[in-house]
Amino acid sequence: MMTKVAASSARPADPCCLIIFGASGDLTHRLLVPALYNLAASGLLPDAFALIGVARSPSSSEAFRDDLAKSLPKFATRDIDERVVKKLLAYVRYVQGEPDDESTYAQIGQELACIERERSTNGNRLFYLATPPAGFAPIGCHLGQSGLAREQNGAWRRLVVEKPFGTDLASARALNQKLLGILKEDQIFRIDHYLGKETVQNILVLRFANGLFEPIWNRHHIEHVQITVAESLTVGRRGSYYDATGALRDMVPNHLFQLLSLIAMEPPSRFAADAVRAEKAQVLNAVQLQNDAEALRNSVRAQYQDGYVENRPVEAYRKTKDVNPQSTTETYVALRLLIDNWRWAGVPFYLRTGKALRAKQTEVAIKFRQAPIAMFRETPVERLAENFLVIGIQPNECIGLKFNAKIPGPSIAIGGVGMTFNYEDYFETPPSTGYETLIYDCMIGDAILFPRADGIEAGWSVVQPFLDAWRDAGAKGLAAYRAGSDGPAEADQLLARDGHHWRPIA
Ligand code: BG6
């Protein structure tokens, strides 16, 4: 009988006031407040906590508090305990204002002065930009000019920036420059919600807390790596955002590159924010940059057509509301990347992500080289199982190893078998939004899970040649796939060229 391990106990976060810009939006209601609730329920929110919502729409502090209390049960991941809600929403204020208007910041300043007198939040302020990206730089500048984000008398002031962080290399650089002109790097927390996932955080532990994997984690033993972030969801109601963005910008420089860098980075000297982030940026900087022709040859972009996903009919992407009927925006992307360092030279990293695919499945699959099979000449190579280490990120949270075993019987026959570790068999974790650890880490000032400016720019540098090559190619080269399938045939050919094939999307 296995004993389950409960989540470890941590100290409550520092006293602070959380100021959410974009407070009337979806993110606040759907994720941030439920995550704060879970932190409060686990005893991780400080007693001295206050919340200021900032948004354009007219409202009052009472109405905002009622609105949060009403929407919480709808999005909560756990049963609601009214005592916890009361504690969480004990001190809520609302500031109505334009993000570009100085007077908004004067009002926020007044509320903060009042809170800091009455609530003992020690002057600690966490500014959270849950607004559309156009708001990031102007809000950052106003926070700087108004002095609200200036650290003094031992109080910390931090800024949380949601994605997308830029839309290309130039805009990401410009945003970093703006923010770093106002705040120090250690005050800026750039959110990538993939780093809030336990299974993603576990990649570092798997690699570096075990002596078992690291000696074979290199080009001598690994043949190739597949990173899959398949979604069964369609673009849905996000047509106007998505049509201007596409799968590459939406998913690759952020989520897929977080997975890639955790898998491929060198061991950091310490488990500390700067050491880890330096190695992650370093490996992204080692990804081979491609010229136009290489970028086209090593990428596949495609759009979904009519089909059925999980037995539901799905209309083609171009028929989606707010999507241009002639759109050439990709809803699927596959890339073949190489990393130019001694560990990975010559080992292809295949990345794919797309909407309206057969199933939701995020995994990293590491394919080991074939054993020299001289001993088993009788068994054709194709019949040997491939050695894969599969890290299931979601929805199957697991780690599995595929290898060969002797099929019982008088003769030597070989068959593929597997061993799997399922998180749920070992650990008891209450359902969460995925934002709990991230918000908590902002409150305690631990930046390990937050990409640094150099990491963000390294990611966009890799993506930029693809953006440029696709822009120049226009509709030429845009492939198609049936909704509910595993993706376009062209993506299979990308691997077939190297003699490899994708693992099926389950
Ligand atoms: C977001 C993207 O960042 O990540 C969405 O904008 C995508 O398009 C989502 O659906 C995927 O997140 P998850 O956690 O469901 O894999």
pLDDT at 380: 67
The CA 259 to ligand 1 mean position distance, Å, reads 14
CB 90 within 8 A of CB 57: no
Over 80: is that where the pLDDT of 4 sits? no
Given 162, 183, 206, the domain boundary residue is 162
What distance in Å separates the CA atoms of residue 108 and residue 61, rounded to the nearest whole number? 13
CA of 235 to the centre of ligand 1 (A): 11
255 catalytic per annotation: yes
| pLDDT for res 107 | 97
Distance from C-alpha of 388 to C-alpha of 417, rounded to nearest angstrom: 11
158 and 199 belong to one structural domain: no
Distance 118 CA to ligand 1 centre (A): 39
89 and 211 co-located in one domain: no
One domain, residues 261 and 360: yes
pLDDT at 1: 45
Catalytic hit among 193, 224, 255, 501: 255
* Residues 359 and 218 sit within 8 Å (Cβ to Cβ): no
CB-CB neighbours of 278 under 10 Å: 17
**Given pLDDT bands bounded at 50, 70 and 90, which one contains residue 413?**
confident
Which of 138, 162, 186 terminates a domain? The answer is 162
Q: Does the pLDDT value for residue 206 go beyond 80?
A: yes
**Total tally of structural domains belonging to the chain:** 2
If asked whether residues 151 and 217 sit together in one domain, one would say no
Q: In terms of Cα–Cα distance, which of 443, 440, 463, 460 is closest to 451?
A: 460
Nearest CA to ligand 1 atom 8: 250
What is the model's pLDDT at position 383? 72
DSSP-assigned letters across all residues of 270-284: SSSHHHHHHHHHHHH
Q: Best mutation site among 165, 228, 251 for ligand 1, i.e. most ligand atoms within 8 A of its Cβ?
A: 251
Separation of 101 CA from ligand 1 center, angstroms? 32
- CA 193 to ligand 1: nearest atom: 14
Number of neighbours of residue 477 by Cβ within 10 angstroms: 15
| Lookup: tokens for 24 | 């009337």
**Mutation test residue for ligand 1: of 193, 363, 435, the one with most atoms within 8 Å of CB:** 193
Please tell me whether residues 226 and 298 are part of one structural domain: yes
What pLDDT sits at residue 412?
80
| Domain match, 32 and 98 both | yes
259 and 339 in one domain?
A: yes
DSSP 289-306: P--HHHHHHTEEEEEEES
Q: Please report whether residue 480 resides in a domain.
A: yes
Q: Which atom of ligand 1 is nearest to the CA of 229?
A: 16
Cα 194 to Cα 201: distance, rounded to the nearest angstrom: 9
Residue at 221: amino acid letter: H
- Interatomic CA distance for residues 53 and 266, integer angstroms: 41
Residue 250 CA: nearest ligand 1 atom is 6
Give percent of the chain with pLDDT exceeding 90.
Answer: 92
Q: What is the per-residue pLDDT for 381?
A: 63
268 and 327 fall within a common domain: yes
Q: Is residue 249 within 8 Å of residue 164, measured between CB atoms?
A: yes
Torsion of CA 89, 93, 98, 102, to 10 degrees: -140
* pLDDT score recorded for residue 3: 61
* Cα–Cα dist 150/144, whole Å: 7
pLDDT at 376: 73
Specify the ligand 1 atom closest to the Cα of 163. Answer: 3
Instruction: Name the token pair of 173.
Output: 């650089």
Q: Examine the domain organization and report whether 241 and 316 are in the same domain.
A: yes
Mean pLDDT for the chain? Answer: 95
Q: pLDDT-based confidence at 7, cuts 50/70/90?
A: low
Atom of ligand 1 nearest to the CA of 394: 16
Question: Ligand 1 centroid vs 229 CA: distance in angstroms?
Answer: 9
Q: How far is the CA of 231 from the centre of ligand 1 (A)?
A: 8
Closest C-alpha among 433, 432, 367, 363 to residue 397: 363
Q: Does residue 171 form part of some domain? A: no
d(CA 189, CA 180): 12
Question: Whose C-alpha lies nearest to ligand 1, atom 9?
Answer: 251
User: What is the per-residue DSSP string for 221-239?
Assistant: TEEEEEEEEE-----TT-H
Residue 2 above 60 pLDDT?
no
| Side chain identity at residue 375, one-letter code | M
Measured from the Cβ of residue 438, the count of other Cβ atoms closer than 10 Å reads 21
The DSSP call for residue 101 is -
User: What per-residue confidence (pLDDT) applies to 379?
Assistant: 67
Instruction: Write out the residue range of the structural domain in which residue 363 sits.
Output: 195-370+449-496
For 137, other C-beta atoms within 10 Å of its C-beta total 18
Protein residue with its CA nearest to atom 6 in ligand 1? 250
Do 148 and 21 sit in the same domain of this protein?
yes
Pocket test for ligand 1, best of 254, 255, 257 (most atoms within 8 A of CB): 255
Nearest residue to 128 via CA among 240, 34, 22, 254: 22
Tell me, what CATH number does 138's domain have? 3.40.50.720
Whether 85 is covered by a domain: the verdict is: yes
Question: Could you read off the pLDDT of 367-407 as tens digits, one per residue?
Answer: 999 887 667 766 666 678 899 999 999 999 999 999 989 88
Q: Are 152 and 209 within one domain?
A: no
Q: In 3D, which of 453, 401, 46 has the Cα closest to residue 210?
A: 401
What is the per-residue pLDDT for 415? 86
Distances (CA, A) of 262 to 18, 206, 265, 452: 30, 10, 6, 14
- What does the pLDDT look like over 81-131, one tens digit per residue? 999 999 999 999 999 999 999 999 999 999 999 999 999 999 999 999 999
Spell out which residues line ligand 1, taking CB within 6 angstroms: 163, 231, 233, 250, 362
**Co-location of 225 and 96 in the same domain:** no
Q: How far is the CA of 193 from the centre of ligand 1 (A)?
A: 8
- CA Rg value for the chain: 24
Angle between helices 273-285 and 257-264 (to 10 degrees): 100
pLDDT bucket at 158, cuts 50 / 70 / 90: very high
Q: Residue 240 Cα, ligand 1 centroid: separation in angstroms? A: 16
Task: Grade residue 133 by pLDDT with cuts at 50, 70 and 90.
Answer: very high
Q: How far is the CA of 479 from the centre of ligand 1 (A)?
A: 22
* Contact by Cβ (8 Å): 365, 263: no
